[in-house]
Amino acid sequence: MRIQLAKQVLDRQIIDVDGRLVGRVDDIEFAVDEEGYPYVECLLTGQAALGERIGGRTGRLLKAVADRFTDDPPAPPLRVLLTQVDRVDSVVRLRCPAADLPPSPVESWLRRHLIDRIPGAHRASG
């Protein structure tokens, strides 16, 4: 059976088990098993992953912006292991809450340096 993975998965929204938006599938990471067969290891989301996929001047710009808003560049993409994916339909549905995923370096930087400085930001519902 032939699967057009890029058409089926890329650019789909990723939502966690509670229906919260995690991001979009910006790229796909493959690995190779002991027998030499490739398999999907994880889905990548974030500006760095999108920049790599797009390439060229626009891709470099996306990566540079992501790196600017991180404490320790280069900004790695958020890696969603395939084992964390429940199913793929109109969106990629995870079997775990977003809190179980590693934090996005860009979102963490923005929270620390911008959002947390807004008066009342800690009282906002999350």
Kind of pairing between the strands at 85-88 and 78-81: unpaired
User: What pLDDT, in 10s, does the model give residues 92-112?
Assistant: 999 999 989 987 777 778 778
Helix (H) or strand (E) holding 90: none
For residue 88, which of 36, 1, 11 has the smallest C-alpha distance?
Answer: 11
Q: Give one DSSP letter per residue of 42-79, joined into a string.
A: EEEESHHHHHHHH-HHHHHHHHHHHHHTSSSSSPPPEE
User: What pLDDT, in 10s, does the model give residues 62-72?
Assistant: 889 888 888 88
Domains of the chain: 5-123 (2.30.30.240)
- Side-chain-side CA neighbours of residue 35 (13 Å): 2
Please identify which residue in the block is written with the tokens 């912006």: 65
Mean per-residue pLDDT pooled into runs of 10, the chain (126 residues): 75 95 93 94 91 92 87 86 94 94 80 81 60
